[in-house]
Amino acid sequence: MRQSKRPDYSTQEINLYIEKDNLVQGIFGIAVQYLGRPLNPADQKIIFGFYDWLNMSIELIECLFEYCKDNNIIGINNIDKEAFNWHTNNIKTIEKVQVLIEEESRCLKILKELGITTDSRIKDDHKQTINKWCNEYQFSQEMILKAGEKAYKSISNLNVNYLDKILTGWYEKGVTTVNDIKISNENYKKKASSNNKPISKSQYKIEQFNRMLSHNYDYEELDRLEWEYQAQKGLEIYKNVN
């Protein structure tokens, strides 16, 4: 079972691998190229951990450094965090790295089209939400932009969470295309128009009569209450006269 924490490699152990394993030499050479400086013992322990602890291939490690360079992830500790993030998210092949890059590019493009400002790196929660729209909900970019148009009618500062409510609502109602949106809007307008349509006096009387019939009155109880009311009223008149 792989350790949950990076082993504490000794300098002697690292030097032995450098001497005996050409792959380790190649990995350190790649690191020097991307970092632009010689490696110190602490750097070597971290980078060797990519290979030995995280079981990353030399090709994947090179992709890692290239990815970090393109995304302005600077410093060996930040690169280390990204390597562990890849490991946690099962990004262990070049193909999965390519999928990651394509998804992030798509997310940034969508956010830009929506007018939502973001850093050069998209937030993880935003990426997960947008991937849900595209992968799970199977929404096109046009659908997502339509949700943005709808949102701008209600709020001035558009955000991913508000958009998610709209798109999730559409998904749950089976609204999956732009044409579905048009049909849904038309149905809503018809329903609203029907609810606001004035009714005639005759129709009003019929509805009132129907509501009256819908009640289950106890007529004997009503008679009893009426008798008590009249008796009480008569008693008050008698007292006033006398």
Euclidean distance between CA atoms 110 and 223, whole angstroms: 72
Residue 188 pLDDT: 81
Residue 193 pLDDT: 74
**pTM check: above 0.85:** no
Judge contact between 28 and 21, C-beta under 8 A: no
Euclidean distance between CA atoms 41 and 62, whole angstroms: 20
Judge contact between 100 and 88, C-beta under 8 A: no
Residues 6+ apart with CB under 8 A from 75: none
pLDDT tens, residue order, the chain (242 aa):
456 789 999 999 999 999 999 999 999 999 999 999 999 999 999 999 999 999 999 999 999 999 999 999 999 999 999 999 999 999 999 999 999 999 999 999 999 999 998 776 788 899 999 999 999 999 999 999 999 999 999 998 899 999 999 999 999 999 999 999 999 888 888 887 766 666 565 665 565 555 555 555 555 665 666 666 666 666 566 556 55
Integer angstrom CA distances of residue 68 from 79, 81, 82, 107, 121: 7, 11, 8, 18, 11
Cβ-based burial of 57 (10 A; exposed 0-12, middle 13-18, buried ≥19): middle
Closest by Cα among 75, 59, 53, 70 to 27: 59
Closest by Cα among 185, 176, 172 to 143: 176
